[in-house]
Structure 1
Amino acid sequence: MKIVVVEDEIAAYNNIERLVRNVKSESLSIVAWLKSIEEAEKWFMLNGEPDLLLLDIQLSDGLVFELFTNLEINCPIVFTTAFDHYAIKAFDYNALSYLLKPISQTQFDDMIKKVFHNSSNYKIDSSLRRLITQLDTYNSKNILRERFLLKKGEKYFVVKTSNIRYIYIDHSVILETLEGERFILGNTLDELVNQLDPLKFFRCNRQVIVNVDAITIVIPYFKNSLLLRLDTKTDCEIVVPKDKVRAFKLWMDR
């Protein structure tokens, strides 16, 4: 079985590679590792379909569903996602499958058996349309945070997500409001990026998530990256690396 993996996180890909190696019952091989929608589009235009396509949902340059706008893909597809179980219940009503990160060997082995069993009857078009509709509906109503209840000293404060300037890592995960107040969060950036409105917030790099309303200047920077200036002085330099520049520009230019 030839597998193509679309995944932008190195740790997640390494885990998938390990899972593939450990499958004993079938002969599996990863023929391509693609890290963005753009890279995946180019690969599919030049190559035939694999036997299995593993797709992360959120990539550096957008949601992976964009792949199906310009491409007709009919091979079995399995989504990998960090969304919580309730966010992906919609998948249970479709012919498509999903794996919830972090993926265990048992989950992966069961998925491979399911793909082998159902590949000849696999249908994608109507299932994918239903999936996108259901996931979008769930995201808009249930996943996106509207506020945080945060403790400072002996008091609790309510911070609306619209009032966040940026979130960054400085030993701890720090949230700064538009007024300059700072709070320590108990969440990771991986968790937060799935909870915040993707039209308003962008994960610039491994250390920073920024609110579009706080950005005032975008400066070409070292090695084709971008340097962001916010509406006030920041505690860290906010750089968008080269591999995220295209996604950042699309996000900004709406």
Structure 2
Amino acid sequence: MKVLIVEDEAPAFRRLEKILLEIDQSIEILEVLDSVEDTVKWVKNHEQPDLALFDIQISDGISFQIFDQVEIKCPVIFTTAFDEYLLKAFKVNSIDYLLKPIKKEDLEGALEKYRNLRVNFSQNGIDMSALLSQISFTDTKYKSRFLVKQGDKMLAIRTDDIVCFQSKHGVVHINTKNEKTYLSDFTLDDLINQLDPRLFYRANRQFIVNADYISTIHKHFKGKLLIELIHFSDEQILVSSEKATSLKQWLDQ
């Protein structure tokens, strides 16, 4: 199996290489690349691998940008320290999504999934590349409205009018641009999979914020960031230093 790795952190690459060879010593690592630019150049000038492992956040952007510039025909396993890109990963040729630090059993399971797909579809005469393209680019439907209770009435709140979702005391509050608050039956984990990732970002355990209502981002101590929202001033919204880079990349789309 010929594998391409896109990873900008040397320790993470060494860990991947070690685990891959522990699982299967016949695996050939064709190249290790650390940027969108280098990966695009490599793909244009080389035969595509059997499988690729892409870190999502790399030195000059996010690896989804690669798909905008060249055609990736092989299946991809994404690796990342964060989980907010899950839906986006499955809109391209992803067969799995592994959270760092990568565990051997998780990578082994992803490779087994790849082998099963390849064997099953080749035996039945199905073009795996064609199948992946059919799966990969199906449009994901995100929620455009939320139905909420207000006394004995029901209201439909437009998603575009929602400034943020806040989890408080185990209950999720929907905060709108007219500075009203409604209760939701969903958890933040449920919501992040129903919202357009271009517009909504999981800032921390308590908040999902809408990009259209971010007014200012302040640098905070120890590399953290502080988000200020229009029409919402109840609490400070802190982003950890670990997520600060992904927030800036998300906003700079």
TM-score by length of 2: 0.57
Structure 1 counterpart of 2:200, one-letter code: F
Q: 1:140-159 maps to which residues of 2 (within 5 A)?
A: 143-159=141-157
Task: Give the whole-Å Cα distance in 2 for the aligned partners of 1:235 and 1:28.
Answer: 57
Q: 1:116-127 maps to which residues of 2 (within 5 A)?
A: none
Structure 2 CA distance for partners of 1:66 and 1:214, relative to 1, 3 Å: same
The Cα shift of 1:175 comes to: 1.2
Task: Give the whole-Å Cα distance in 2 for the aligned partners of 1:224 and 1:39.
Answer: 23
The Cα shift of 1:236 comes to: 3.1
The alignment partner of 2:228 has SS state of strand
The Cα shift of 1:241 comes to: 2.7
Cross-structure match for 2:101? none
The Cα shift of 1:230 comes to: 1.6
Q: 1:37-116 maps to which residues of 2 (within 5 A)?
A: 41=36, 52-53=51-52, 64-69=63-68, 76-78=74-76, 98=95, 109=112, 111-115=114-118
The alignment partner of 2:217 has SS state of strand
TM-score by length of 1: 0.57
Task: Give the whole-Å Cα distance in 2 for the aligned partners of 1:63 and 1:191.
Answer: 24
Q: Is the 8 A contact 2:36 2:62 kept in 1?
A: no
Cross-structure match for 2:183? 184
Structure 2 counterpart of 1:214, one-letter code: Y
Question: Identity of paired residues, percent?
Answer: 28
Structure 2 CA distance for partners of 1:211 and 1:110, relative to 1, 3 Å: closer
Task: Give the whole-Å Cα distance in 2 for the aligned partners of 1:6 and 1:169.
Answer: 35
The Cα shift of 1:161 comes to: 0.6
Structure 2 CA distance for partners of 1:99 and 1:147, relative to 1, 3 Å: same
Structure 2 CA distance for partners of 1:156 and 1:123, relative to 1, 3 Å: closer
The Cα shift of 1:149 comes to: 0.5
Alignment deviations for residues 32-74 of structure 1 (CA, whole Å, 9 cap, x no partner): xxxxxx967599699x998643569x87998753233567866
Structure 2 CA distance for partners of 1:209 and 1:4, relative to 1, 3 Å: farther
The Cα shift of 1:248 comes to: 2.8
Unaligned runs of 5+ in 2: 8-15, 79-84, 99-105
Alignment deviations for residues 126-166 of structure 1 (CA, whole Å, 9 cap, x no partner): 7777666x33xx23xxx121111112443222111111110
The Cα shift of 1:176 comes to: 1.0
Cross-structure match for 1:203? 202
Cross-structure match for 1:252? 251
Write 1 or 2 for the structure with the bigger share of helix.
1
Q: Is the 8 A contact 2:35 2:61 kept in 1?
A: no
The Cα shift of 1:234 comes to: 3.4
Task: Give the whole-Å Cα distance in 2 for the aligned partners of 1:82 and 1:127.
Answer: 20
The Cα shift of 1:227 comes to: 0.6
Task: Give the whole-Å Cα distance in 2 for the aligned partners of 1:227 and 1:72.
Answer: 38
Q: Is the 8 A contact 1:54 1:78 kept in 2?
A: yes
Task: Give the whole-Å Cα distance in 2 for the aligned partners of 1:227 and 1:147.
Answer: 28
The alignment partner of 2:166 has SS state of strand
The Cα shift of 1:211 comes to: 1.6
Aligned length, in residue pairs: 217
1:216 corresponds to 2:215: yes
Q: RMSD in angstroms over aligned alpha carbons?
A: 5.2
Structure 2 CA distance for partners of 1:39 and 1:6, relative to 1, 3 Å: closer
The alignment partner of 1:180 has SS state of coil
The Cα shift of 1:174 comes to: 1.8
